């Protein structure tokens, strides 16, 4: 429809039909059919059945080395020797008993044969016990005496470096302590010294009947004895 306003004419705009597109609605997918899961059955082994894995038993403790020395007597460190070689259950008791005695007491020899505590540590391969004893003896010269003091047979702890396996921990400990304290393994301090026998005096031999008095050489010449006696008588008469 035309509308005129003065000279100009305008057409009335027609209303366009707006096509409203409906939103695309997503289609709902149908859920897949549920799969039936099989229940897992747990089987427990009967108590009587043994497991396939075998338990490895702990190795038995190594036997105590044989000691060639007689048991110590009249020394405070005798109970320490009874604990050698140390096992984990004896370490604390050994440490407490060791420190309950002054270090000087550890230098005393056994009354039986004069053996020392370090000689027993070597005999029993007691590495940890020997190390504790060396640490406890800190005064000057004590470690030297532990290594060099000899028993009645002329043997000391340093001599064991030539007798036992050098790969033993206790022998490695001895070698280290000998180097620190100036004890040469090739010197006489690490060798067995056979004690010299003391010579008995003449009076002791005579008392024991081992030494007889020498016979008078004049006894085999009775004429000489008679002549000398006559001479003495004449001298007495003249005087």
- pLDDT tens digits along 79-126: 999 999 999 999 999 999 999 999 999 999 999 999 999 999 999 999
Buried b (16+ CB within 10 A) or exposed e, 74-94: ebebeebbebbbbeeebeeeb
Which pLDDT value is given to residue 11? 57
Q: Mark residue 6 as left, alpha or beta (left: phi above 0; alpha: psi -120 to 50; beta: remaining).
A: left
pLDDT(50) > 60: no
Which pLDDT value is given to residue 65? 86
- Split at pLDDT 50, 70, 90, the class of 140 is confident
Please give the DSSP secondary-structure letter assigned to residue 162: G
Find, among 113, 118, 129, 127, the residue nearest to 165 by Cα.
127
pLDDT(8) > 60: no
Structure tokens at 19: 């096509």
Q: What is the residue whose two structure tokens read 């007495």?
A: 236
Over pLDDT 90: what percentage of the chain? Answer: 46
Which pLDDT value is given to residue 64? 83
What is the Cα–Cα distance from 83 to 121, expressed in whole angstroms?
10
Instruction: Determine phi and psi for 11, rounding to 5 degrees.
Output: -90, 140
Tell which wins on pLDDT, 111 or 43.
111
Which pLDDT value is given to residue 52? 54
Neighbours of 108 (CB within 10 A): 15
What is the Cα–Cα distance from 98 to 80, expressed in whole angstroms?
7
- Split at pLDDT 50, 70, 90, the class of 234 is low
SS3 115: coil
Domain boundaries, the chain: 78-190
Which pLDDT value is given to residue 200? 59
pLDDT(59) > 60: yes
From start to end of the chain, where are the E strands? 2-5, 8-11
The model's pTM: 0.59
- Span 190-229, pLDDT tens digits: 898 876 666 656 665 566 665 555 665 555 555 555 566 6
């Amino acid at each position: 429809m035309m509308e005129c306003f003065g000279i100009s004419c305008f057409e009335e705009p027609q209303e366009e039909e707006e096509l409203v597109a409906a939103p695309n609605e997503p289609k709902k997918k149908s859920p897949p059919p549920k799969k039936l899961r099989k229940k897992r059955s747990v089987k427990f082994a009967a108590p009587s059945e043994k497991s396939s894995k075998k338990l490895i038993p702990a190795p038995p403790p190594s036997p105590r080395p044989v000691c060639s020395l007689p048991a110590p007597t009249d020394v405070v460190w005798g109970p320490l020797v009874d604990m050698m070689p140390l096992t984990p259950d004896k370490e604390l008791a050994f440490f407490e008993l060791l420190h309950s005695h002054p270090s000087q007491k550890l230098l005393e020899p056994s009354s039986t044969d004069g053996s020392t505590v370090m000689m027993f540590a070597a005999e029993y391969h007691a590495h940890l016990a020997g190390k504790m004893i060396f640490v406890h003896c800190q005064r000057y010269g004590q470690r030297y005496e532990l290594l060099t003091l000899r028993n009645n047979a002329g043997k000391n702890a340093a001599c064991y470096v030539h007798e036992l396996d050098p790969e033993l921990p206790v022998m490695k400990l001895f070698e280290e302590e000998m180097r620190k304290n100036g004890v040469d393994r090739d010197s006489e301090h690490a060798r067995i010294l056979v004690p010299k026998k003391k010579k008995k005096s003449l009076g002791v031999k005579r008392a024991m009947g081992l030494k007889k008095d020498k016979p008078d050489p004049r006894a085999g010449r009775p004429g000489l004895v008679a002549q000398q006696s006559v001479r003495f008588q004449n001298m007495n008469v003249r005087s």
